[in-house]
Amino acid sequence: MPISAQLSRMISHADGSHASIGWLLEQLGPRSFGLTFFVMGLLGLVPGLSTFVGALIAWPAIQLVRGRKVASLPRLVTRREIAVVKLGRLVQAASPSLAWMERLVRPRWPRSLQTTRRLTGIVMILLGFSMILPVPFGHLLPCFVIMLLALAYLEEDGIAFFVGLGAALASFAITAITVWGTIETIDFLDPAQRS
């Protein structure tokens, strides 16, 4: 099932006005890692959630590095609830882009993904860390890169995965340049900091 269809199905099957993260993970089933990263990237776009998601993404990423087959999150996190209406709006807004990406992403070089599971986990940890940094709108690009890597991982598309790695390197470079520029600006405005 395409990701856009599975996410829409998850929202339509939600009971009540809020859905817990634990319930969302149960709906993901065997595609837990890929869809967990994708949903986290999507949630990271919500104002106020980027720092929390950036820290949380390290949990499944470490599990991926350690070679686990299924993603899991701490109970404290799985109890947290998200407004179904807000989540539905995000999925609806992302659906056109997802449909376009699903035409491009298809199974290619699947073995390359099996041999780079640990690399994927490390890259996800670094992307999550870059979301935490106090950079204005600095969480947007990492979120999109996380979703691209997750999509490539789900569809077993090695080519899309390496494109995602290139985008991750670009994201790290932009974040580093922005942080460095901020530090230089502070030093320029407050010369006392230099001494």
Domain that holds residue 23: 3-193
pLDDT at res. 91: 77
Distance of CA 152 to the CA centre of its chain: 12
pLDDT at res. 35: 79
pLDDT at res. 182: 64
Angle, alpha carbons 165-169-175 (nearest 5°): 140
Question: Is 160 exposed, middle or buried (CB count within 10 Å of its CB: 0-12, 13-18, 19+)?
Answer: buried
pLDDT at res. 169: 87
pLDDT at res. 187: 54
The Cα–Cα gap between 31 and 21 comes to 15
Domain count, the chain: 1
**Which pTM value belongs to this model?**
0.69
pLDDT at res. 183: 64
Place of tokens 């006005």: 17
Mean pLDDT by 10 residues, the chain (195 residues): 72 76 72 80 81 86 82 78 80 76 72 73 88 76 87 79 85 78 60 51
